[in-house]
Structures are given as structure tokens and as C-alpha cells.
Amino acid sequence: MADNKRNRPIGIFDSGVGGLTVMAEVIRHLPNENIVYFGDVGRCPYGGRSKETIIQFARQDIKFLLEHNVKYIIAACNSVSAVALETVKNEFDIEILGVISPGAKAAINYSKNGRVGIIGTVATIGSNSYAKEIQRLNNDIKVFSLACPLFVPLAEEGYMDKEATKLIAHDYLKTLIDVDIDTLVLGCTHYPLLKNVIAEVMGDKVKLVDSAEETALELTQVLDNNGLRKEETEEVIHKLYVSDVPDNFSDLVHKFLGSRINNITRVDITRY
């Protein structure tokens, strides 16, 4: 039978469970699509690693997804999108959408005063990718970037409403409050989980941009423009592959995806 491209799964990869926030948005906007997710849980976090290492890991993640005959790939990890995407995009014969460009476009649309903040991992902020993309699209926008590395473990530990998280958020974000931004991009897969705390600290005049949601919206558009939406008649399958399964894993998946998933398989990513 001829392989009908539109019915192939969407491939999503991330350094770990964080990209499940992107998968959750993809499921919300494209509930009929099959998804194969790879989370490099065993080698997470990527955000403090060198560019060379992140590129090498991203190559392996993509090779793994290609084995699953995916029709489109999302690099859900901001750190990968920021430092590796430009390089790996040219090495594979498949469209790969990162999370930087959708987040950057949304920030430009939302900002009224032309002052935008970006928060992310050390790798993402160090690459300056969001700032470059925003200024490539609109050179009048002033961008203020800030690494908030403690937000990743806080989200994974479920410290959403704790006083400690508020204190850390205040400490990190005060420099952004001082520069009068009206838009703040959550440039890391984990930060949507801390949205309430970040919103409280930044105040209601600052619009938060969720790169995960913006990416799902862009994917929807791309699939529609290319006639690549899956046929409704087919059943929907979501598969989760990971390079390690820690003890608390199903709780972690629930936290980031917002639902449980039984279809979890461990893979040796170093083979790719």
C-alpha cells in the first residue's frame, strides 16, 4: 500500500520531559495527529552543555525519530533550537521546526512598547538566538535576555507555588522589571509550569509568551498549508520514547503533559 504521508506521525524531541509541554499544546491544537516523542531523559539537561555536544545529541535524537517514519519534526527544546537547529536542519531530508521562531514572532506581535524580555537556559540565552530572530524580523524592538537556570529543577520538583520559587523568581526577574518590558518570552520548555509565579512577579502589564503554544499554532498552519493533516478516520496513537526511566517518571510525565501515557519505551540513544 502506498505510504500516505499525511497519516505519518509528528516527531517531537527534547532533552527530557520538558518538551511534553510542547506535546500537550500540539495535542490541544491537533488532537487527531499521531505523535512520537523522544525525551533524552538520561542526558538531561542540555541547557548547560557546549554547542558541540548539543548538536551531537540533537543529531541522534533526529535519527531516532526518522526511524519512526515521521512526517515533520519539532525540536521542542529551546536549547537545541537556539544552538543546534541551524546546523542540523541542513543535514536531514525532513522539515524541522524549532521553538525560537514561533516565540519570536509572537513577541513582536504582542509588544506595544517595543521592549521584549527573553528568559531561558544558559545555552539559549548565551546563543542570543531569540534576540537575533526578533531583530531580524523587526530591528526596532529592544530585547533584554536573562538566563534563569534554577527554574528547570524547580519545575521538575513541582515547586510551582512555593515561597522559595517566588523568592528566586523575584531575584532573577527584578532586572527585567526595571527595564520596562511589556512582553516576556518563556524561552524554555519548563517555564510554562511556572507561569503563575512569573506572571505574579512581572505584574499584569507584562504579557507572557508561551513558545510551546506558539509552536503548536505554527505547526497547525504548516500542516494545513501543505495538506498534511492526518485523516480523521485513522485511530490516534501517542508514543513516548526516553533514554532513561527514573523512579518518579510517570509523575513527571503527568506534571508536564497534563495527562498519563502508558506507551513508554526506553531506547539506547547512543546507538544513533
Binding residues among 138-157 for ligand DGL as defined by CB under 6 A: 152
Q: Which of 36, 77, 173, 242 binds ligand DGL (CB under 6 A)?
A: 77
Chain position whose Cβ is nearest to ligand DGL: 47
Which CB atom, from 108 or from 125, has the smaller least distance to ligand DGL? 125
**Catalytic: 148?**
no
Which CB atom, from 80 or from 206, has the smaller least distance to ligand DGL? 80
Least CB distance to ligand DGL at residue 190 (A): 6
Which CB atom, from 125 or from 134, has the smaller least distance to ligand DGL? 125
Which residue among 26, 188, 212, 252 is the active-site one? 188
Chain centroid offset of residue 40 CA? 13
**Catalytic: 77?**
yes
38 beta partners: 13, 241
Q: Which stretch binds ligand DGL (CB under 6 A): 9-17, 138-146, 177-185, 235-243?
A: 9-17
Q: Which stretch binds ligand DGL (CB under 6 A): 45-53, 133-141, 193-201, 247-255?
A: 45-53
Q: Residues 223, 161: contact at Cβ < 8 Å?
A: no
What is the distance between the alpha carbons of residues 253 and 18, in angstroms, rounded to a whole number? 9
Site string for ligand DGL, 180-209 (x = CB under 6 A): --------xxx-------------------
187 beta partners: 120
**Among the listed residues 100, 76, 69, the one whose alpha carbon sits nearest the alpha carbon of residue 86:** 100
What is the distance between the alpha carbons of residues 156 and 253, in angstroms, rounded to a whole number? 10
Which residue among 35, 77, 83, 147 is the active-site one? 77
Determine how many CB atoms are found less than 10 A away from the CB of residue 222.
13
Least CB distance to ligand DGL at residue 207 (A): 20
Determine how many CB atoms are found less than 10 A away from the CB of residue 128.
14
Radius of gyration of the chain measured on its C-alpha atoms: 18
The CA distances from residue 53 to 42, 83, 84, 201, in Å, are 14, 10, 9, 34
Q: Which residues form the interface with ligand DGL (CB under 6 A)?
A: 14-16, 18, 44-47, 77-79, 121, 124, 152, 188-190
Enumerate the active-site residues: 77, 188
